Structure 1
Amino acid sequence: MVEQRYCFMDGQLSWVWDGGSLVNQSQTSEAWNECVKLLEGIKIEMKSDAWLWRQDETREVFKVNILRTELDSIQSIPETQVLKWLSWIPKKINCFLWRAVLDRIPTREALVIRNINIPSITCALCGSNAETVDHLLISCQYAQLVWTAISLWVKLPLPRYLLSLVRLLEYIESYCSSEEKRKAIYLVTAATCWTLWRIRNNLIFNQKKTQVSRAVGNVKALSFFMDESKGWKNRSGLEGIE
């Protein structure tokens, strides 16, 4: 500990090093000398320790409420700039998409990272790759079949290089010139991601498979349900989708 490496003698600070081996190599010796020079400029006062944050002259005692104020002042987090909080999308789906963009949904890979013991990290839908957020919702072979059918339905060509949820949402934002069209496509995207997640859970926990055609039908039904639930049918753009 730091307190074991210094002492005060006649009011002067002295550093105490108990290393058992000498520093011989020139590069290591130079680094050691730089470290000692930095420590010589340190002033240690006999008072209680405190958590400090920020840098240079702006350092101050850390408080949770100050951190919260700092976070609230941030305009947006880069990953979430692609998100739209649409009132006619259910809150649970809005929150799910938000967590998916931040890679915070409990995929199999995420569970293993959190030291949760599971039999396999392989995707339950395709059985060929590790189950990550982007794989499960975008690049999985099963998901690709669903997205192909949905893209034809909404008349939105999807390039093959779109292999992440963030890139997909960015593409929708840049491709659609009409605000109503963007909202409609975003709604369908949210419905598709939510449907894929539920299909995955139904397969894992209930051992029930869902055909791609049925999955596409569920996406369409959920999209129209969300579109009509708030009386937005004439504004969101789904009315023009056949």
Structure 2
Amino acid sequence: MFSLGVEEGDQWLWLPEPSHGYSVRGAYSVLTSKDLPLVDSAAEMIWHRQVPLKVSVFAWRLLRDRLPTKSNLIYRGVIPSEAGLCVYGCGVLESAQHLFLSCSYFALLWSLVRDWIGFVGVDTNVLSDHFVQFVHSTGGSKVSQSFLQLIWLLCAWVLWTERNNMCFNDSITPLPRILK
């Protein structure tokens, strides 16, 4: 944080220790603290030792709406608003929520995966809630939850990869074929 004053010089403040200022030890203490209020259960689940780091970083960006979806590119002024429709052609602005949960093409993958695994579920409209609900949907053991965690991360990664294939290679893969 910074403060601007007319009678005093400008200064940067390190909020965890404003009197002592920033230190590597202080930053390490903040990062390793168990009392981080900003960490939710979905954010904790993206870091899995069996998931490649690039997939975890992707999921971290997805849950924070930091992927280069067309709506985010419009917001940043990279593309014009006319170019913001979903790559599948459903006529809706391409946001992360739309792409992963509402698109008539991409969102269908979650139903196919649930059918394959053998459980019934209702999808929520919030990505982090969808992730948590999917992982805990069977109410099973830690091993079962870990498996569902891997499945969700893999599906999200596959959906993003397929979206990019459509966007940059003009290639459409039928969803049942994606599951093979």
**Structures share a fold, TM > 0.5?**
yes
Query: Does the CA-based 8 Å contact 1:199-1:209 persist in structure 2?
Result: yes
Q: 1:180 to 1:69 in 2, by over 3 A?
A: closer
Change (3 A) 1:179 1:69: closer
| Aligned amino acid, residue 167 of structure 1 | D
Which deviations, in whole Å up to 9, do the C-alpha atoms of 1:134-162 show, x marking residues without a partner? 211122111222111111001231214x1
Unaligned 5+ residue runs, structure 2? none
RMSD value, Cα = 2.8
Equivalenced residue count is 172
**Does residue 125 in structure 1 map to residue 83 in structure 2?**
no
Tell me which amino acid in the other structure corresponds to 2:136: S
Question: Displacement, 1:86?
Answer: 2.2
For the 8 Å contact 1:126–1:142, the answer to whether it is kept is no
Structure having the higher Rg: 1
Which fold has the larger relative contact order, with Cα–Cα distance below 8 Å and residues 6 or more apart in sequence?
2
Q: Which runs of 5+ in 1 are unaligned?
A: 4-43, 218-242
1:51 equivalent in alignment to 2:12: yes
State percent identity of aligned pairs: 23
Aligned residue identity for 2:174? Q
Offset from partner CA, 1:191-227 (integer Å, 9 cap, x none): 111111111111111111111221222xxxxxxxxxx
1:160-179 pair list within 5 angstroms: 160=123, 162-175=124-137, 176-179=139-142
Report deviation, 1:64.
Answer: 7.1
Q: Match of 2:133, as an amino acid?
A: Y
Amino acid at match of 2:118: K
Deviations 1:61-114 (A, max 9, x none): 754758734641443433444524222222221221122112111111111122
- Is the alpha carbon distance of 1:179 and 1:120 closer, same or farther for their aligned partners in structure 2, counting shifts above 3 Å? same
CA offsets, 1:22-77, max 9 Å, x none? xxxxxxxxxxxxxxxxxxxxxx5xx644334649xx74375475873464144343
Contact 1:52 1:62 in 2 (8 A): yes
* Greater helix fraction, Structure 1 or Structure 2: 1
Change (3 A) 1:127 1:171: same
Matches within 5 A, 1:1-242: 3=6, 44=7, 48-52=9-13, 54=15, 59-60=18-19, 63=22, 65=24, 68-69=27-28, 71-75=30-34, 76=36, 77-79=38-40, 80-118=42-80, 119-160=82-123, 162-175=124-137, 176-217=139-180
CA contact (8 A) 1:83 1:98 kept: no
